[in-house]
Amino acid sequence: MGVYERWLVARGNVFLPSAATVAKVIERLRAERWIVDPGSADLAKLRFEGKHGERARATGGYAVKTAENTFGEDLDAKLAATIEPLPKEVTTDWLAHDEREEIRLVWPVTSDDAPVKYPLSRRPDGNAGWVLELHRAPEYVYPTAKNIGPIPTECRCSEDLSFEWDEDEVVPAFESSTGIFAECDECSRTFDPSKGSATIKNPFDGSKDTVPGGAAYRFALKVVCTEYVEDAGLAFAPELVALVEKEFGRSFYEVACVR
């Protein structure tokens, strides 16, 4: 069936909220029961499985940060250096720390009777597990998938601003993605992804949209599901989109793929 991934991205693509604003949104997501409140009895209703899940056991979530690769192929050492449990209170100071410049905040949900709301518009029959994530990075992240076309990444000075995280040098926070520099080193111009467009196909019916900015983002909400409804109209839950748009004061759009 594959793994279904969906991103909620700010229109204009350049949006990068402050650590304080992200911390506030996390509190709203907890209060509205989109993610578990570690101070509530709901936490005991969730199951946390595997090495990643164990990091979420105390508070319901964990963080994945980019770190310098001094570990070679030692997977356990990489895990220890890049993944940490979320604190009970995700504060501005915690988020703004230099080592968390590129970060994924991750809330896995595995439960026979999930105490938090399902983040998509249609829920599959039976028990459904999912992962809800918040992504934040100073450079643009661009998901790589067969149905997500590229955008032009050349600066006006002809410098190509696209890059890949060199895994010999760093352990990247973002999986199955490439990057685009937000500012050109050659001429200091800032890059605006929305000046170009990408062709993005619906992963279920193959219909195509030409999307300004493609899937480029510096901040995004993401959901990952291994069980889902194969429906071309599948989307984020409207109430969740409304919460995000109200908190940030801007509109968002959606991009999806199946891996």
Predicted confidence band of residue 192 (pLDDT cuts 50, 70, 90):
very high
Secondary structure element (H or E) that encloses residue 26, with its range: helix 19-31
Residue 8, pLDDT score: 98
Task: Give pLDDT, residue 79.
Answer: 82
Asked if 130 and 16 count as a contact pair (C-beta separation under 8 A), the reply is no
Indicate if the pLDDT at residue 112 is higher than 80: no
Q: How does residue 224 score in pLDDT terms, banded at 50, 70 and 90?
A: very high
Confidence tier at 70 by pLDDT (50, 70, 90): confident
Confidence (pLDDT) at 106:
97
Of 89-93, 124-128, 212-216, 231-235, the poorest mean pLDDT is in: 124-128
Q: Quick count: other Cβ atoms within 10 Å of Cβ 1?
A: 9
Residues 140-153: pLDDT tens digits? Answer: 999 999 999 999 99
- Nearest 5 degrees, angle CA 9-CA 10-CA 14? 110
Residue 42, pLDDT > 90, answer: yes
Helix (H) or strand (E) holding 139: strand 130-143
Confidence of residue 204 (pLDDT cuts 50, 70, 90): very high
Question: Quick check: 205 pLDDT over 90?
Answer: yes
Integer Cα distance of 223 and 143 in angstroms: 13
Domain parsing of the chain, residue ranges: 4-258
Structure tokens at 220: 């995004």
What's the CA gap between 17 and 11, in Å, rounded? 13
Average pLDDT, the chain: 94
| Predicted local distance difference test score (pLDDT) of residue 27 | 97
**Residue 182: CA atoms inside 13 Å, Cβ hemisphere, count?**
12
pLDDT in tens, 238-252: 999 999 999 999 999
* pLDDT for position 113: 82
pLDDT for the residue numbered 72: 77
User: What pLDDT, on the 0 to 100 scale, is given for residue 225?
Assistant: 95
Q: Retrieve residue 110's tokens.
A: 């595995």
**Mean predicted confidence (pLDDT) in 34-45:** 94
pLDDT in tens, 12-33: 999 999 999 999 999 999 999 9
- Provide the pLDDT confidence category of residue 256 given band limits of 50, 70 and 90: very high
